[in-house]
């Protein structure tokens, strides 16, 4: 049994009686009121951050209204990430009055709320993106991307890459895109494919400046969905020739485009310090 009054709670004087110390709050009642532990208040007392300034007639230390207000200010600063030593200096600064403290805390809280609202918006967009991340109906997908588009491809892509950071990026970005945004992406993709086919027919050599520029346009197009590195693009180049569906798509744009695209991507990756044969998805 400790003799430290801080460690003791006043008893009641009888059944249904109010706790002794009605002229202030005991440490237990103060802790319950502000939502911290008794241990926390004892620590703040020990370091001089918040000390109960009153005593009952029986000698118990109690927190006054001003003490509780100080606890609330400590909690605000702690929520904002200030260390306890800095909080003590801020609260005890004689050059700053209580209203200045409150204005400062309010300003910092508004900034924090703004940041949290931005984070909440990002989470909401990801949730709104649903399982696939694309807010387009299957009919809208076919209308925008053409009759050859298969909505099931999105499900297959999620099954294959759904646990990657890049898919999370795609889901968040797709959630904020309107049908008009997707039409713009589709038009830009068609224009790129047309330029790739034209370069193939013109005999543009992989590794040339013109070919590297097209490879970078392709990488920038993929970065619409996620941050595409040269290593990731090299992985795509391998996929283009290894997956019959990708090969079929590019061969439909222009015969021979699949292998040429593979070679263009590989040459550009090498020019940027990446070994395309051993590149990994990172």
At residue 132, the pLDDT reads 45
Q: Is 226 helix (H, G, I), strand (E, B) or coil?
A: coil
Q: Is 197's pLDDT higher than 80?
A: yes
Q: Is 4's pLDDT higher than 50?
A: no
Percent of the chain with pLDDT over 70: 75
Q: What domains can you pick out in the chain, each with its CATH number?
A: 5-92 (1.10.1660.10), 123-271 (1.10.490.50)
- Per-residue pLDDT reduced to its tens digit, 48-106: 999 998 887 777 789 988 899 899 889 888 887 788 988 888 888 877 676 777 777 78
Q: How far, in Å, CA of 149 to CA of 220, rounded?
A: 22
Tokens 């609202």 sit on residue:
117
| Tokens matching residue 212 | 């590297």
Q: Give residues with Cβ within 8 angstroms of 20, minimum separation 6.
A: 10, 11, 12, 13, 56, 57, 58, 60
Q: How far, in Å, CA of 199 to CA of 193, rounded?
A: 10
Q: How far, in Å, CA of 175 to CA of 133, rounded?
A: 6
At residue 262, the pLDDT reads 95
Average of pLDDT values for 178-185? Answer: 81
Q: Which of 41, 3, 49, 13 is nearest to 25 (CA)?
A: 41
Instruction: Lowest mean pLDDT of 4-8, 228-232, 278-282, name the range.
Output: 4-8
Average of pLDDT values for 221-250? Answer: 88
At residue 242, the pLDDT reads 87
Alpha carbon separation from 275 to 159, 261, 265 (Å, rounded) = 27, 16, 11
Q: What is the largest CA-CA distance in the chain?
A: 100
For residue 63, the cross-strand partners are: 25
Q: Would you list the DSSP string of 20-83?
A: S-TTSB-HHHHHHHHT--HHHHHHHHHTTSS---EE-TT--EEB-HHHHHHHHHHHHHHHTT--
Residue 266 pLDDT grade (very low, low, confident, very high; cuts 50, 70, 90): very high
Q: Is 121's pLDDT higher than 70?
A: no
Between 261 and 186, whose confidence is greater?
A: 261
Average of pLDDT values for 229-237? Answer: 92
Q: Is 14's pLDDT higher than 60?
A: no
257-271 vs 244-253: helix crossing angle, rounded to 10: 100
Between 18 and 213, whose confidence is greater?
A: 213
At residue 141, the pLDDT reads 56
Average of pLDDT values for 242-246? Answer: 84
At residue 17, the pLDDT reads 32
Q: Is 123's pLDDT higher than 70?
A: no
At residue 8, the pLDDT reads 46
Q: Tell me the average pLDDT of the chain.
A: 79
- Per-residue pLDDT reduced to its tens digit, 130-178: 444 555 556 665 565 565 555 555 566 666 666 677 777 877 787 777 7
């Amino acid at each position: 049994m400790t003799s430290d009054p801080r460690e003791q709670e006043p008893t009641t004087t009888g059944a249904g009686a109010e706790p002794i110390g009605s002229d202030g709050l005991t440490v237990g009642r103060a802790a319950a009121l502000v939502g911290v532990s008794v241990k926390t208040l004892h620590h703040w007392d020990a370091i001089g951050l918040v000390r109960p300034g009153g005593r009952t007639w029986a000698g118990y230390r109690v927190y006054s209204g001003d003490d509780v207000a100080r606890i609330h200010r400590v909690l605000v600063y702690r929520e904002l990430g200030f260390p306890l030593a800095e909080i003590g200096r801020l609260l005890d600064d004689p050059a700053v009055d209580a209203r200045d403290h409150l204005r400062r805390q309010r300003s910092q809280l508004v900034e924090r709320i703004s940041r949290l609202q931005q984070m909440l918006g990002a989470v909401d967009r990801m949730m709104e993106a649903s399982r696939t991340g694309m807010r387009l109906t299957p009919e809208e997908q076919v209308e925008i991307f053409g009759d050859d588009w298969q909505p099931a491809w999105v499900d297959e892509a999620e099954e294959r890459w759904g646990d990657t950071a890049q898919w999370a990026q795609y889901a968040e970005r797709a959630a904020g895109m309107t049908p008009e945004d997707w039409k713009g992406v589709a038009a830009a993709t068609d224009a790129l494919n047309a330029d790739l086919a034209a370069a193939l027919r013109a005999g543009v050599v992989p590794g040339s400046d013109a070919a590297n520029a097209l490879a970078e346009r392709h990488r920038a197009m993929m970065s619409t969905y996620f941050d595409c590195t040269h290593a990731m693009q090299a992985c795509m180049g391998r996929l283009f020739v290894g997956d019959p569906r990708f090969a079929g798509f590019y061969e439909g744009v222009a015969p021979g485009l699949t292998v040429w695209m593979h070679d263009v991507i590989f040459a550009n990756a090498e020019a940027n310090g990446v070994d395309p044969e051993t590149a990994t998805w990172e």
